[in-house]
Amino acid sequence: RDVFAAVVDVLPREKAVHLMLEWKTNNRNYENELEMAVAEPQLHTAIRFLLEQTGISIEQHERLPWRKRTNANEDCETDAKQRRPKASAEENWSRVLKFREATNSRQPKIGEKSESSSVNVVIKIDSTAPLHGNIYAVIGAIHASFEEWSLDCGLFHLKSQIVYYLHAATSALGLKAYSSHYKTEFVGCSDCIYEVQRTDGLVLGVGLGTGRLALMTDVHRLLGRNWERRLRLRPDQVDKVAEIMFSNSRTPAQKSVALITEFGFTRWTIEQLPPSIGLLLGSIIMGQHTSTELFQFKSPQTVTSFPQPEEMSQIARIRWPRDVRRDNVRAMLDSTKPVLIATQHLDAGTDGEIREAQEQFLNATWTRYLAQAFGRAFFTFRTVLPNPAEALYVPELCLSARIYPSNLTYDLTLTEPLRHLREWGEFYNGVAAGLSVVGADVARVDHEWLTLCHTNDKISPPTAAGLLYAFGLNGHLPNFNMFHVHEVLASLDKFPSIALLLGMAMSKIGTADRQIYTVERPSLRELSIVTKDMSNTITCVITLLPPINRHNKTMKAVV
Pairing of strands 119-125, 408-410: unpaired
Say what the pLDDT of residue 75 is. 41
Taken in order 413, 414, 417, 421, is the CA torsion positive or negative?
positive
- C-beta of residue 244 within 8 angstroms of C-beta of residue 236: no
Return all residues near 297 (Cβ < 8 A) that are at least 6 apart. Answer: 307, 311, 312, 314, 315
Say what the pLDDT of residue 350 is. 74
Compute the C-alpha angle 253/258/264, nearest 5°.
130
For residue 198, the cross-strand partners are: 125
Count CA atoms closer than 13 A to 71's CA, side-chain side: 4
Say what the pLDDT of residue 274 is. 66
Compute the C-alpha angle 393/307/304, nearest 5°.
75
d(CA 127, CA 207): 17
What values do phi and psi take at 34, rounded to 5? -80, 150
Residue among 296, 130, 125 nearest 201 (CA): 125
For residue 193, the cross-strand partners are: 120
d(CA 465, CA 454): 7
Tens digits of residue pLDDT in 114-141 = 455 677 787 877 766 788 778 888 888 8
- C-beta of residue 481 within 8 angstroms of C-beta of residue 475: no
Rounded mean pLDDT, 20-48: 72
- Quote the pTM value: 0.45
Say what the pLDDT of residue 72 is. 40
Say what the pLDDT of residue 104 is. 54
For residue 383, pLDDT beyond 70 = yes
Q: pLDDT band for position 303 (50/70/90)? A: very low
Q: pLDDT band for position 468 (50/70/90)? A: very high
Say what the pLDDT of residue 504 is. 86
For residue 296, pLDDT beyond 50 = no
What residue type is assigned to position 125 of the chain?
A: I
Q: Taking every pair of C-alpha atoms in the chain, what is the biggest distance, in angstroms?
A: 110
Which of 70-74, 109-113, 160-164, 307-311 is least confident?
A: 70-74
* 469 vs 253, more confident: 469
For residue 70, pLDDT beyond 50 = no
Count CA atoms closer than 13 A to 381's CA, side-chain side: 7
